[in-house]
Amino acid sequence: MSVPDKRMSLKEAVSRYVHDGDSVYYGGFQIMVPMALTHEMVRQRKKNLTIFNASTDVGGLDLLVAAGCVKEMHLAWAMNWCVKAPYAIRRAFQASEIQRFDLSNCSATSALLGGSLGIPFVAVRGNIGTDIVENNTNDLKVIEDPFTGEKITIVRAWRADVAIIHAQKADPLGNVVSWGTRGVTDEFGAMGSRRGVIVTAEEIIDTEVVRSDPDRTIVPYFKTLAVVHCPWGAHPSACRGYYGLDIRFCQYQGKYERSADLLPKFLDEWIYSCPDHDAYIQKYVRMFGPEGLERLRPKLGFKSKLEVDYGYHDPAIWQGVPQYTDKYIRG
Amino acid sequence: MAATFRLTELMVVRCAKEIKDGEVVFAGVGLPLVVVSFAMATHAPNMILLTEGGSIRATAPPGLAISVDDPALFTNADATHGMIATMGTLQRGEVDVAFIGGSQIDRFGNINSTGVGSWGTPGTFTYFAGSGGANDMATSGKRVLAIMPQDPKKFVEKLDYVTTPGFLDGPGARERLGMIGGGPSVVVSTMAVYRFDAITKEMVLAEYFPGQSVEKVRANCSFDLKVAPDVKETEPPTEGEIALLRNIDPTGFYLR
């Protein structure tokens, strides 16, 4: 069987696989946020997107909302944590430009798990008794447990049209390799997506290498639509083993997010004027020096000490070995 | 001689005293992440730390965690099973202490971290963050610790949005809805420490911080605050405790 090579540019991946009006699983949390993909969706002026996400901490959704790409968001938490507020989302909600459907982290993760399992809803313990269930009847209902008769909250499963995620490594076929947080919710968001997954990866590796340690594969190739080689693709969020959270840049970006007048300048200079993610990183180096990126290097030296061998046993060894028996067994 | 300390340092040290050694603690973002590292370095070396990012660990992270899925939380962790696994631990009733922040609180310890204004009235609602995991933690944790700023707009008669359940409208409400967790236990604000009355489930002033008084605390609370008969001033942190804390957050990301 031959499997197609899914490598392509960021531009091609987004133009081919993200359509206006799509629902999008938005990956990451504080780390592994698909920022290069966020910028590219802004650059291509995608419209009327519905976002599914548990929590997001670096202001990527603020940019997407400020650029007018989003119609609806379903999530538990969104802000640029380094400035402690979701300024653009706040303004867009006040102006009724977006609809927001809130729920808790456990509900959001469960909604994604439900989507990945292909079932309609999942029961959760939280939300009941609060304004969350009152205000978000789109995602949540309180029902009677059919087994015990007790009240329980259920959350509908989320199946996004497309999932966007960032990972450490991927192979050309689309196997996605990540470690160190197990993607938080990315496995579920990716597996539950209807059309499939766009992944940006720090490195492209050989399929043979992926298959030598398949426990680390968070998305198998058949769910993947596009593989984009994109170093620094999660910046300013962190990527385990490659770079840490860029606190100074998040604070810098946050100063733009705070002001409705300033934010379009950030979009112009850091996104629309940069043809691709390389240009964004080059601009960063021009403005803040190579030492800016150098500061983000993680403290390494925490290599796995487990020696893992996926050796298997060949049942051919039983060829010609007589049945085991004893005095109690007849025949 | 009394040590010179920041308000956040007093809050962290006071909060840490609420954690018992060996407990399973689910820490939310913000000062709770500093508190757990401090507790593990002092009186609670056998504490087990869980976060929303999915880290499960018996040791403090090697560096300050800026958020609940900070890479540091996963370096030398005992398991990194993801959000669904730590949320499952909560829902199974195995978390002793759910440790959260918030923006508004009422007398029954219900918390708002979603925003202020009228959610359903266009143009009036100012969003904060949302629940994150706070709702789940407060629903199912055996007891809830909350740490938050205090002024009359934050300690209110009625929340603008109930994000996270305390005792809801009073005794029996949590039980009627089948919540497995015990509800709020202690609130540490920027002025004082509160507990909850076992019968009425109302917040009670237990301690006021050095430099504060019952009157000042009451003036910064919009509901009729009950005061414990044995109310006292909170012990200030020691020089050793402050030195240790500043080592955990050397740049003052949280403590500043």
- pLDDT tens profile B238-252: 999 999 999 999 999
If you ran DSSP here, which 8-state letter would residue B28 be given?
A: -
Q: Which of A73-77, A95-99, A303-307, B197-201 has the lowest mean pLDDT?
A: A303-307
Q: Total domain count for chain A?
A: 1
CB contact B190 to A (< 8 Å): no
Please tell me the distance in Å from A216's CA to the nearest CA on chain B. Answer: 12
Contact A180 B63 (CB under 8 A): no
What confidence category does residue A184 fall into, taking pLDDT thresholds of 50, 70 and 90? confident
CB contact A103 to B (< 8 Å): yes
Mean pLDDT calculated for residue range A233-238: 97
Please check whether residue A312 lies inside any domain of the structure.
no
Mean pLDDT calculated for residue range A212-234: 97
B-proximal residues of A, 179-238, CB under 8 Å: 180-185, 187-188, 238
Mean pLDDT calculated for residue range A259-281: 98
Please check whether residue A135 lies inside any domain of the structure.
no
Which runs of consecutive H residues, i.e. helices, occur in chain A?
10-17, 35-43, 60-66, 87-94, 105-117, 131-135, 186-191, 207-211, 247-258, 263-266, 277-288, 290-294
Share of residues in chain B with pLDDT > 90 (%): 96
| CB-CB contact of A46 with A201 (8 Å) | no
Q: Which of A29, A131, A188 shows the shortest C-beta gap to B53? A: A29
Please check whether residue A257 lies inside any domain of the structure.
yes
Give CA separation, B33 vs A145, A249, B30, B47, in Å: 36, 22, 6, 13
CB contact B136 to A (< 8 Å): yes
Task: Return the CATH number at A163.
Answer: 3.40.1080.10
Please tell me the distance in Å from B208's CA to the nearest CA on chain A. Answer: 27
Please check whether residue A301 lies inside any domain of the structure.
no
pLDDT for the residue numbered A271: 98
Which residue segment(s) compose the domain that A267 sits in?
Answer: 10-121+157-294
pLDDT for the residue numbered B1: 45
Domains of chain B: 7-248 (3.40.1080.10)
Please tell me the distance in Å from A311's CA to the nearest CA on chain B. Answer: 24
Q: Which of A130, A152, A181 shows the shortest C-beta gap to B162? A: A130
Contact B53 A113 (CB under 8 A): no
Mean pLDDT calculated for residue range B99-108: 96
pLDDT for the residue numbered A183: 62
Mean pLDDT calculated for residue range A59-87: 96
pLDDT for the residue numbered A306: 93
Separation CA B157–CA B222 (nearest Å): 6
Catalytic choice (B52, B202, B207, B241): B52
- CB neighbours of A68 closer than 8 A, spacing ≥ 6? A45, A47, A97
Mean pLDDT calculated for residue range B13-32: 96
Please check whether residue A281 lies inside any domain of the structure.
yes
Supply the Cα-derived Rg of chain A in whole angstroms: 23
Token couple for B70: 């900070």
pLDDT for the residue numbered A209: 98
CB contact A99 to B (< 8 Å): no
B52 in catalytic set: yes
pLDDT for the residue numbered A331: 67
Could you give the ipTM of this predicted complex? 0.95
- Please list every residue in chain B whose beta carbon sits closer than 8 Å to the beta carbon of residue A128: 139, 165, 177-179
- CB neighbours of B179 closer than 8 A, spacing ≥ 6? A125, A128, A129, B139, B140, B165
pLDDT tens-digit profile of B124-179? Answer: 999 999 999 999 999 999 999 999 999 999 999 999 999 999 999 999 999 999 99
Q: Which of A103, A152, A180 shows the shortest C-beta gap to B80? A: A180
| CB-CB contact of B165 with B152 (8 Å) | no
**Cross-strand pairs, B196:** B203
pLDDT for residue B28 is more than 70: yes
Using CA coordinates, name the residue in chain A closest to B53. A184
pLDDT for residue A18 is more than 70: yes
Helices B7-16 and B31-41 pack at an angle, to 10 degrees, of: 60
Separation CA B251–CA B156 (nearest Å): 33
Please check whether residue A248 lies inside any domain of the structure.
yes
